[in-house]
C-alpha cells in the first residue's frame, strides 16, 4: 500500500482534527501548531523551529526555510490575537513548540501524535504534510491560482506544485 498524505478538505474534517488535538495533554500547544500549519503552508521541519521572535518581529514576518534556504513571508493576520495570547509568557528566544526534554519538538514526535489522531478519525492518510497540503488545498480552492501557490510553497515550477497537490487540486 502506498502512503498518500491527504489534506483536510472540509471544515468538518478540520474541526474533527482539532477536537482530537484538544484532548491531548499539551492541547494548547498542539492546537496552536496545527493552526500555524494550516494557515502558513510551512513544512513541519520549519514550524517546529519557530521562536517567539520569528512571529512577532513584523506584521508579516519572514523566515528562511530549512529545506530550500529561501525566505518566506508569513501571512498570519487572522491568527494575530491567538499568537499574542499563546506567546505572552514566552521569551523572544523561546521555541513556540518546546519539547519536555528541552529544545523544540521533533518532527517525528508530531508524526506520532498525528498518527494517533488519524487512528481516532479512522484515517490512514494523515501525516505531518497534511497541514501543508490542507493550506495548499484551501488556498487553491479560494484563488484558483497555481502560480501564487507555487511561489508560496517555494516550488520551482507549476508542474511541481500540481504534482504535489495532484489529489488536492
Q: What is the pLDDT along the chain (169 residues), one digit of tens a residue?
A: 446 899 999 999 999 999 999 999 999 999 999 999 999 999 999 999 999 999 987 778 888 888 888 888 888 989 999 999 999 999 999 999 999 899 999 999 999 999 999 999 999 999 999 999 999 999 988 988 888 788 788 777 888 777 767 655 5
Instruction: Give backbone dihedrals phi and psi of 117, rounded to 5 degrees, phi first.
Output: -65, -45
**Domain spans of the chain, in order of start:** 11-164
Q: What is the pLDDT of residue 148?
A: 79
Let me know the angle formed at the C-alpha of 119 by 40 and 111, rounded to the nearest 5 degrees: 40
Q: What pairing do the DSSP bridges indicate for beta strands 71-73 and 62-64? A: antiparallel
Quote the cell numbers at residue 163.
504534482
Which residue among 51, 72, 133, 155 is the active-site one?
A: 155
Quote the cell numbers at residue 44.
513541519
Which residue among 43, 49, 133, 138 is the active-site one?
A: 43
- C-beta neighbour count of 113 within 10 angstroms: 19
Q: What is the pLDDT of residue 20?
A: 98
Task: Write out the H or E segment, with its range, that includes residue 72.
Answer: strand 71-73
Quote the cell numbers at residue 29.
500547544
**41: region left, alpha or beta (phi > 0 left; psi from -120 to 50 alpha):** left
pTM of the model: 0.90
Listed in sequence order, the residues at least 6 apart from 122 whose beta carbon sits closer than 8 Å to its beta carbon are: none
Q: Looking at the domain covering 11-164, what would its CATH class be?
A: mainly alpha
Instruction: Give how far Cα 6 sits from Cα of 69, 123, 129, 131, Å.
Output: 26, 10, 8, 9
Which residue among 132, 133, 137, 140 is the active-site one?
A: 132
- Asked about 138 being catalytic, the answer comes back as no
Inter-residue contact 35 to 49 (CB < 8 Å) = no
Long-range pairs, 87-90, Cβ under 8 A, ≥24 = 87/52, 87/55, 87/56, 90/52
- Asked about 43 being catalytic, the answer comes back as yes
- Asked about 129 being catalytic, the answer comes back as yes
- Asked about 26 being catalytic, the answer comes back as no
Q: What is the pLDDT of residue 169?
A: 56
Amino acid at each position: 500500500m502506498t502512503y498518500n498524505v491527504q489534506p483536510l478538505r472540509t471544515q468538518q474534517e478540520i474541526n474533527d482534527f482539532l477536537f482530537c488535538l484538544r484532548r491531548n495533554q499539551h492541547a494548547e500547544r498542539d492546537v496552536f501548531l496545527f493552526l500555524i500549519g494550516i494557515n502558513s503552508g510551512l513544512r513541519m521541519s520549519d514550524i517546529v523551529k519557530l521562536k517567539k521572535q520569528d512571529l512577532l518581529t513584523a506584521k508579516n514576518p519572514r523566515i528562511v526555510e530549512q529545506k530550500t534556504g529561501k525566505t518566506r513571508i508569513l501571512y498570519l493576520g487572522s491568527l494575530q490575537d491567538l499568537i499574542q495570547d499563546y506567546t505572552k509568557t514566552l521569551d523572544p528566544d523561546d521555541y513556540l513548540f518546546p519539547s519536555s526534554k528541552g529544545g523544540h519538538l521533533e518532527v517525528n514526535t508530531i508524526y506520532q501524535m498525528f498518527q494517533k489522531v488519524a487512528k481516532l478519525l479512522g484515517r490512514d492518510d494523515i501525516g505531518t504534510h497534511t497541514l501543508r497540503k490542507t493550506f495548499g488545498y484551501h488556498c487553491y480552492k479560494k484563488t484558483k491560482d497555481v502560480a501564487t501557490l507555487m511561489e508560496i510553497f517555494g516550488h520551482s515550477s507549476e508542474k511541481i506544485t500540481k504534482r504535489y497537490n495532484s489529489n488536492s487540486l
